[in-house]
């Protein structure tokens, strides 16, 4: 009998079908990877398993007993524990005290049973925390905090342990060490589900992989079977087309440098997102930064626009812009198309465009809007329509159009293909070609869709776990990296 059985699991959020007839099994002492890109449904499945959400339809069996109706604390008592991606330790308590709290009964008592401290010490030793027993979280490196969070989950004595993005924010070395730690836990007689978007992070660690996309399971099997699956490759890499540079325009090798990035470190609290990233974009160039989710692409773009602090420097046309505010950077001629779009959803298409033209003379603003309508005729047809009622593809077009009306010298696009249908991808592709070849725009693209990025790029930078591991032309990238990008 399987430890966990999930049968025909459905979850709706309004009209959104977040999980669609999902079924799978987890056996005892098995390590399973649950993978998929952003928005695939991984977090929804995890929240259904631990009880944060109740399913619309379907059955969840644990040790042969249906648990989909049980509350979170009752599922914990049954033997399900989770280590969440975002660490929230008790900041005033020591490492040992944080672990001890997980060992306490879930009801008030004047005196707690003896031996709790000894148990906490044993768990801490098992996870290599013996040198930091008495330290508080603020004194610890991020990798050590992750170990402490894992210790807290193990203290619940689980039969099934769910690890949510356990490698997020860790360096290469820390990932290797944490992987060894997870692998050693199989001796503890419990099963593990690793929820992650990064195929590389789990493939050498798990017994099997369940790959999901758009709320559906698209492949289940050994890591080798799943990684070689055509549908998995399509989801993670993009449509498998003949990779050729659709952009016939080639930048002059002597073109002046517009953007120069030298980031030695970028961190969120103790989690390091970027390390020693050097990047150059020349005038008229089409440059892509590729990498799987969590590689550091968005962090890089946030640094360029001063949304986050970083160590190092970023120069625009030879002058440092590190000290400038976001609005001042935009005024230099750099526009941003964020992954999250950030539209005013209860304003019309045209009102969203006008917001980007507040400092532009009225007739000039009208002229610029007509120009983007000629590029995006669908937006002209929907100029009075609320942004919230536009399709995903139309919202992406509006986000790009909002950047274009600012008449930038360079446009930065973060994951513009995310969640879009193939027919819409083709429309976006044609627009990028037009922007580069006809409008002579310099373009910096961040993408996980490898084939889409290579189709347009003159130069490619590959990010992995915040490190730059390839700085090459499109042809060099194909020769050096190729299919190894995924596996």
266 and 229 co-located in one domain: no
Describe the crossing of helices 362-375 and 392-404 by its angle, rounded to 10 degrees: 140
Of the candidates 237, 267, 299, which is a domain's last residue? Answer: 237
Its domain, for residue 95, covers: 4-237
182 and 93 co-located in one domain: yes
Choose among 54, 130, 404, 441: nearest CA to 281: 441
212 and 264 co-located in one domain: no
Choose among 141, 130, 138, 124: nearest CA to 91: 138
Which distant-in-sequence residues (6+ apart) come within 8 Å of 245 by Cβ? 454, 455, 456, 457, 458, 474
178 and 298 co-located in one domain: no
Q: pLDDT 10s digit of each residue in the chain, 487 long?
A: 799 999 999 999 887 788 999 999 999 989 999 998 777 888 899 999 999 999 999 999 999 999 999 999 999 999 999 998 887 888 889 999 999 988 887 766 655 667 888 999 999 999 999 899 899 988 888 888 989 999 999 999 999 999 998 887 777 778 888 888 888 887 778 899 999 876 777 888 899 999 998 899 999 999 999 988 888 877 776 654 444 445 456 666 678 999 999 999 999 877 788 999 999 999 999 999 998 777 899 999 999 999 999 999 999 999 999 999 999 999 999 999 999 899 998 999 999 999 999 889 999 999 999 999 999 999 999 999 999 998 888 999 999 999 999 999 999 999 998 767 667 788 898 999 999 999 999 999 999 887 788 888 889 999 988 889 888 887 777 777 765 665 5
The answer to whether position 219 is within a domain reads yes
The whole-model pTM stands at 0.71
CATH code, 37: 3.40.50.300
233 and 265 co-located in one domain: no
20 and 137 co-located in one domain: yes
Of the candidates 203, 237, 271, which is a domain's last residue? Answer: 237
**Helix, strand, or coil here: 474?**
helix
Cβ-in-10-Å burial (0-12, 13-18, 19+) of 79 comes to middle
201 and 319 co-located in one domain: no
* Contact call for residues 40 and 217 (beta carbons, < 8 A): no
What CA–CA distance (Å, rounded) separates 188 from 107?
A: 26
* β-pairing verdict for 442-447 and 31-35: unpaired
101 and 232 co-located in one domain: yes
In angstroms and rounded to an integer, the radius of gyration of the C-alpha atoms of the chain is 25
Number of domains in the chain: 2
**Helix, strand, or coil here: 136?**
coil
């Amino acid at each position: 009998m399987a430890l966990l059985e999930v049968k025909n699991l459905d979850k709706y959020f309004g009209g959104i079908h977040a999980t669609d007839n999902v079924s799978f099994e987890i056996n005892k002492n098995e390590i399973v990877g649950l993978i998929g890109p952003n928005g695939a449904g991984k977090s929804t499945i995890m929240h259904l398993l631990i009880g944060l959400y109740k399913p619309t339809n379907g059955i969840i069996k644990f040790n042969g007993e249906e648990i989909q109706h049980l509350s979170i604390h009752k599922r914990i008592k049954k033997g399900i524990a989770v280590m969440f991606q975002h660490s929230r330790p008790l900041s005033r308590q020591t490492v040992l005290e944080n672990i001890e709290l997980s060992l306490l009964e879930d009801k008030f008592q004047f005196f707690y049973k003896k031996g709790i401290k000894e148990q906490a010490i044993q768990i801490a030793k098992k996870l290599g925390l013996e040198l930091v027993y008495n330290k508080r979280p603020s004194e610890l490196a991020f990798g050590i905090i992750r170990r402490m969070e894992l210790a807290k989950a193990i203290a619940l004595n689980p039969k099934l342990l769910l690890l949510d993005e356990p490698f997020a924010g860790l360096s290469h070395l820390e990932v290797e060490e944490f992987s060894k730690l997870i692998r050693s836990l199989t001796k503890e007689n419990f099963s593990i589900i690793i929820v992650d978007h990064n195929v590389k992070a789990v493939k050498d660690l798990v017994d099997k992989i369940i790959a999901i996309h758009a709320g559906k399971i698209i492949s289940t099997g050994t890591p080798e079977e799943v990684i070689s699956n055509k549908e998995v490759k399509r989801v993670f890499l993009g449509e498998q087309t003949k990779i050729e540079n659709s952009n016939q325009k080639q930048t002059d090798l002597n073109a002046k440098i517009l953007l120069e990035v030298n980031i030695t470190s970028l961190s969120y609290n103790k989690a390091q997102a970027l390390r020693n990233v050097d990047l150059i974009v020349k005038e008229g160039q089409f440059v892509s930064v590729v990498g799987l989710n969590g590689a550091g692409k968005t962090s890089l773009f946030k640094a360029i626009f001063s949304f986050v602090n970083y160590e190092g420097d970023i120069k625009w046309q030879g002058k440092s812009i590190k000290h400038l505010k976001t609005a001042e950077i935009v005024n230099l001629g750099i526009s941003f198309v964020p992954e999250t779009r950030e539209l005013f959803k209860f304003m019309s298409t045209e009102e969203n465009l006008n917001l980007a033209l507040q400092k532009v003379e009225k007739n000039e603003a009208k002229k610029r809007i007509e120009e983007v309508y000629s590029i995006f005729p669908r937006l002209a047809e929907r100029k009075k329509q609320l942004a919230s009622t536009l399709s995903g593809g139309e919202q992406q077009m509006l986000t790009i159009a909002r950047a274009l009306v600012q008449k930038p010298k360079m446009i930065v696009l973060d994951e513009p293909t995310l969640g879009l249908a193939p027919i819409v991808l083709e429309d976006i592709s044609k627009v990028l070609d037009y922007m580069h070849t006809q409008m002579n725009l310099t373009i910096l693209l961040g993408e996980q869709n490898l084939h889409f990025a290579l189709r347009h790029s003159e130069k490619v930078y590959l990010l992995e776990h915040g490190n730059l591991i390839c700085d090459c032309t499109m042809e060099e990238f194909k020769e050096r990296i190729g299919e190894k990008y995924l596996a």
